Amino acid sequence: MTNPDLRRQALNLLHTGVTNAEVARRLRVPSGTVGYWLHMERFRHGELPGRRLAPCFRCHGDDLEIDRGSYAYLLGLYLGDGHIAAHPRTYSISIYCADAWPGLIRECANAMSRVLPGPAPNFVPRPGCTDVKRYSQHLPCLFPQHGPGRKHERPIVLEPWQQDIVGAEPWALVRGLIHSDGCRIVNWTTKVVAGERKRYEYPRYLFANESTDIMRILGTTLDQLGVEWKFARRNLLSVARRASVALMDRHVGPKY
């Protein structure tokens, strides 16, 4: 019988109420080994005193409801201007939010807390911005786009389960992308009318990103929402048509 089989049998006996010492006697293994197996089982389920592992809807999907809107928004923030780093025992996600938009910082932290229940996010001051940071062992399964190197240097493809969430909450994804690497600005131009040059202003939305895959994700989602857009240049997407800007204003809005 292999060690995994012994461990599984020991845990089954422990779950029925058999003591550690009795399990060790029956299976002829050291009692310390039985105690270690039980400790690690409780650790994985967040049952140790003073320690609670945050639940993950990917790992505990049968037991947890998914806040689809918050996840899609946080996914947009991560794809636009986020970063996941590996640490010896865990991972961290950082979303860099300009200090000029305190509402964005709050909204980012709220979405992070809904997607990753547990400790509140940290706010790390950086030059001109705030790093909204959260540690979790579940980040790679929640954001499988994580990988070595910069995003525009590796493929960025949504998993089928992510596409289902985005399909249910497309505006949340668009809002996250625009709030990270995008903006709403007011352009102006002049036109001669009846011999007089007049100034005209019109709003537009811009999104800049070096990843062609992330550009494709945004463009495809905008197409599905009926928003007209075009490339102002290779790495800059523009929404300038009046009806489409009005639609974006209704569902996205400027940073605040």
Cβ count within 10 A of residue 233: 8
Buried b (16+ CB within 10 A) or exposed e, 13-29: bbeeeeebeebbeebeb
pLDDT score at 66: 81
* pTM for the whole structure: 0.76
Question: According to the model, what pLDDT value does residue 75 have?
Answer: 98
- Report the candidate in 139, 169, 154, 141 with the shortest Cα–Cα distance to residue 214: 154
- Segment 49-69 shows an average pLDDT of 66
Q: What sign has the CA pseudo-torsion 76, 80, 86, 87?
A: negative
Identity of the amino acid at 148: P
For the residues 166-193, what does the mean pLDDT come to?
92
Q: What pLDDT sits at residue 47? A: 60
What's the pLDDT at 117? 81
Q: What integer pLDDT is reported at residue 2 of this predicted model?
A: 47
200 within 8 A of 191, measured Cβ to Cβ:
yes
Confidence of residue 191 (pLDDT cuts 50, 70, 90): confident
| Spatial separation of the C-alpha atoms in residues 253 and 256, rounded to whole Å | 9
Q: What are 50-59's pLDDT values in tens digits?
A: 545 556 777 7
pLDDT tens sequence across 83-129 = 999 988 889 999 999 999 999 999 999 999 999 888 889 999 999 99
- Residue with the larger pLDDT of the pair 201 and 108: 108
